[in-house]
Structure 1
Amino acid sequence: MNDVDAIIVGAGAVGLAVGRSLAVRGCQVIVLEKNGRFGEETSSRNSEVIHAGLYYPTGSLKARLCVAGKHAMYAFCAKRGIEARALGKLILAPSSSDLAALEQLCARGHANDIPDLELIGPDRIKGMEPEIVAQAAIWSPSTGIVDSHSYMLALLGQIEDHGGSLAPFAPFLGATPIPNGFEVRVGGQEPIVLTTSKLILSAGLWSTHAGLAVDGLDPIHVPVTQFAKGNYFTYGAKTPFTHLIYPMPSAGGLGIHVTPDMNGHARFGPDVQHVETLDYRVDESRKSVFAASIKAYWPKIDERLMQADYSGIRPKIGKALTQFEDFQILDHTTHGLNGLMCLFGIDSPGLTSSFAIGEEVASRFGLP
């Protein structure tokens, strides 16, 4: 007999969604978190956007899980009174030279099972957002924003309702395969060893460390995690926007965009900076870069009113800083260790995809 049925390493949105998915299927779950609370890293330092799923290659995990996760998140939040608003998003083509790429992006979205996307022209754009300047845009009505903290709290609530628990200040030190599962070493003030039949690594920024700490997991299956920092700025005056405003996607990210928040204010960001350490101080020198990018579609912005807000750091693997890299969800068919599931490179759209990732993990474990 193992101590528990499943141990999840990492209590971000994805780890909690995995825990919920297993708990509601009858698994006794413990979620290990090295910090004092859930969601203190990537999950609490992002744009809180519910993405539609059009940016990702058709058939990829990101495309499939983002679209499924979007629908699941709206439904989950609606049942629990959590703020999740489909504000809609405009993806802008600032010049005629961008039209072909915009059309390709829209076609990809349709192929990814997002039928409500529309290509619209300048008159329609002006009617929706009078101060935006663009030649054309994709209108994505299912894109929205979510109160990510309340979402994560609700996921944890479902884990606890089904007998599971969150273990804060409980860093994952390593695991060793044993018959019918794993022996898991947990640190903290009172180190402990637990046994489990299922071990899920959802460690975000620390995924490489977690993977290398599993005895018997060939390092060839553990990608190096790189850190991509994104700065955010707020605006010291009322902004005119009622929808999310995005430029065309750029290398490694979706471009510096405008996100209205739950309180009617707006923030700009994120950008993409490769960093070596977790330093969350906002790089004030980036303000001019932000302003130049935003002026391409909102000429009236006053750079003097831009104020540093916060930053987030996203886990990237492979060449994700400059080109598309898919999520990696590795099970025994890849690495050969029964009961182990490894989640690597869960960057954007990780929040949107989280509920669907949880369902994917449960499915791969053969849970109905």
Structure 2
Amino acid sequence: MGEIADITIIGAGVVGAAVAAGVAQKNRQVYVIEKNESFGMETSSRNSQVIHAGLYYPENSLKAKTCVAGNTLLYELCRRYAIGHRNTGKIIVAADSSECEALEDLLHKGRKNGVEGLRLLSRRELRSLEPDVAGVAALFSSSTGILNVHELIKMFLSQAKDEGAQVVYKSEVTGVERKNDLYQIEVDSAGEKFIFETRVVINSAGLHADKVARMAGIDPGGAGYTLYYCKGEYYSVSWGKSGLINRLVYPVPPAELTGVGVHVTLDLDGRIRLGPSAQYIEEIDYRIDDSNKRRFYEEAKKLLPFLDYDDIEPEMAGIRPKLQKPGEGPKDFVVRHEADRGLPGLINLIGIESPGITASPAIAEIVRDMVTEIL
């Protein structure tokens, strides 16, 4: 890294990888710096791996716009590059009549966001689609699906490397300083420290994005960039119950949208997965608390009456980097060029939680346009 880089991307999760694919060009020196030993080892891999439709998010929010645009882009990418995926569709189920109004609200919100393929289902229509799911009504989303996120990230990074980008693993950014119209990036690579210069910094550091912003001279608290860790646990359902549902099954979401409730997804092999839960934590901790099993079972059984307690077992946990404190309403993605803060060339991507995977190709297009204006 002796020469001055044009663009340095911090973080090789799905968003960082998508951005790398979007900005890499043969005539640009592009680096992707990742602290882990491989790509997508944190938030990008510890989630439901769902292609979302975009019906939960406030109208005109970045979450809504990038999710709806990203949904179309993602299916196109999956088809073009043979990335494992399935357009399963999703049903959001009203457990009783008191939740039916919320389904109608979601329908209208989704349509305002530009989501296509939404329709309300009666009890009879729900039973026809998913006979083993309990509920009095449902909202059907035809554009929801699942994918192999590992393959997606690998494809994005392969595209970037084909254009000359370099991906550096086991290297943690420990300093970002604006100096003489460039940024000095300090990196710790297996105990060895080195510094290089770059014209553009794209902060896609996921769980650590607020810390990187602080390194660059931004007060996360004052800017509204402080991240709050929200842990979600997942349980797998025994193979013997596979095949009893064919679509993703979600409850009506809570008003504060900390998460969308313990829901039922499928992996590409057809195994049923439950989760995630939503619990704010202080430190990164991926251990699963076995005492939560009973609550998982009871919540899931409301949707899937065929479940037995012994059918479920802990699978994994993930952590979402939220901009909202416990009890606060949902906050939007931060996708921002910080020129007005005296930091031209710094682009912050902060609070990229769900629907970040779906939104990733659309976010990459926004960042690509920002970079074009800068360089």
Is 1:317 aligned to residue 320 of structure 2?
A: no
Which residue of the other structure, out of 247, 250, 253, is the alignment partner of 2:251? Answer: 247
Q: How far, CA to CA, are the matches of 2:344 and 2:3 in structure 1?
A: 15
Match in the other structure for 1:35: 36
8 Å contact 1:24–1:162 — kept in the other structure?
A: yes
Match in the other structure for 2:285: 279
Q: How far, CA to CA, are the matches of 1:198 and 1:78 in structure 2?
A: 32
Is 1:326 aligned to residue 332 of structure 2?
A: yes
Q: How far, CA to CA, are the matches of 1:170 and 1:120 in structure 2?
A: 50
Deviation of 1:134 after TM superposition, in Å, equals 1.2
Is 1:238 aligned to residue 241 of structure 2?
A: yes
Is 1:182 aligned to residue 183 of structure 2?
A: yes
Match in the other structure for 1:113: 114
8 Å contact 1:56–1:62 — kept in the other structure?
A: yes
Is 1:291 aligned to residue 297 of structure 2?
A: yes
Is 1:306 aligned to residue 302 of structure 2?
A: no
Q: How far, CA to CA, are the matches of 2:141 and 2:245 in structure 1?
A: 15
Deviation of 1:25 after TM superposition, in Å, equals 8.2
Judging changes above 3 Å, is the alpha-carbon distance between structure 1 residues 162 and 108 closer, same or farther for their aligned structure 2 residues? Answer: same
Task: Give a deviation string over 1:238-297, Cα, whole Å, max 9, x none.
Answer: 230110000011240011111111111111000101111222111111111111211222
Match in the other structure for 2:208: 206
Q: Which runs of 4+ in 1 moved over 4 A?
A: none
Where do 1:77-226 residues align within 5 Å?
A: 77-189=78-190, 190-214=192-216, 216-219=217-220, 220-221=222-223, 223-226=225-228
8 Å contact 2:324–2:330 — kept in the other structure?
A: no
Judging changes above 3 Å, is the alpha-carbon distance between structure 1 residues 327 and 55 closer, same or farther for their aligned structure 2 residues? Answer: same
8 Å contact 1:227–1:314 — kept in the other structure?
A: yes
Q: How far, CA to CA, are the matches of 1:320 and 1:10 in structure 2?
A: 26
Deviation of 1:2 after TM superposition, in Å, equals 5.9
> What is the SS of the residue equivalent to 2:12?
coil
Judging changes above 3 Å, is the alpha-carbon distance between structure 1 residues 94 and 7 closer, same or farther for their aligned structure 2 residues? Answer: same
Match in the other structure for 1:345: 351
- Which range is displaced more, 55-64 or 237-246? 237-246
Q: How far, CA to CA, are the matches of 2:285 and 2:14 in structure 1?
A: 21
Where do 1:31-70 residues align within 5 Å?
A: 31-70=32-71
8 Å contact 1:221–1:335 — kept in the other structure?
A: no
8 Å contact 2:26–2:164 — kept in the other structure?
A: no
Judging changes above 3 Å, is the alpha-carbon distance between structure 1 residues 109 and 176 closer, same or farther for their aligned structure 2 residues? Answer: same
Task: Give a deviation string over 1:35-77, Cα, whole Å, max 9, x none.
Answer: 1111111111110000000000010000000111111111111
8 Å contact 1:223–1:318 — kept in the other structure?
A: no
Match in the other structure for 2:24: 23
Percent identity, aligned pairs only, is 38
Structure 1, unmatched stretches of 5+, are none
> What is the SS of the residue equivalent to 1:296?
helix
> What is the SS of the residue equivalent to 1:155?
helix
Judging changes above 3 Å, is the alpha-carbon distance between structure 1 residues 24 and 126 closer, same or farther for their aligned structure 2 residues? Answer: farther
- Which range is displaced more, 322-331 or 308-317? 322-331
Deviation of 1:321 after TM superposition, in Å, equals 6.1
Residue identity in the other structure for 1:279: D
TM-score normalized by the length of structure 2 = 0.94
CA RMSD of aligned residues (A): 1.7
8 Å contact 1:117–1:139 — kept in the other structure?
A: yes
8 Å contact 2:224–2:323 — kept in the other structure?
A: no
Q: How far, CA to CA, are the matches of 2:73 and 2:151 in structure 1?
A: 15
Deviation of 1:363 after TM superposition, in Å, equals 1.5
Deviation of 1:95 after TM superposition, in Å, equals 1.0
- Which range is displaced more, 17-26 or 252-261? 17-26
Deviation of 1:136 after TM superposition, in Å, equals 1.2
8 Å contact 2:5–2:199 — kept in the other structure?
A: yes
8 Å contact 1:228–1:321 — kept in the other structure?
A: no
> What is the SS of the residue equivalent to 1:245?
strand
Deviation of 1:99 after TM superposition, in Å, equals 1.1
Deviation of 1:9 after TM superposition, in Å, equals 0.6
- Which range is displaced more, 162-171 or 216-225? 216-225
- Which range is displaced more, 181-190 or 111-120? 181-190
Match in the other structure for 2:14: 13
Residue identity in the other structure for 1:341: I
Tell me how many residue pairs correspond in the alignment.
367
Q: How far, CA to CA, are the matches of 1:71 and 1:174 in structure 2?
A: 37
Deviation of 1:175 after TM superposition, in Å, equals 1.4
- Which range is displaced more, 278-287 or 147-156? 278-287
TM-score normalized by the length of structure 1 = 0.95
8 Å contact 2:339–2:345 — kept in the other structure?
A: no
Q: How far, CA to CA, are the matches of 1:39 and 1:297 in structure 2?
A: 31
Q: How far, CA to CA, are the matches of 1:37 and 1:25 in structure 2?
A: 24
- Which range is displaced more, 219-228 or 133-142? 219-228
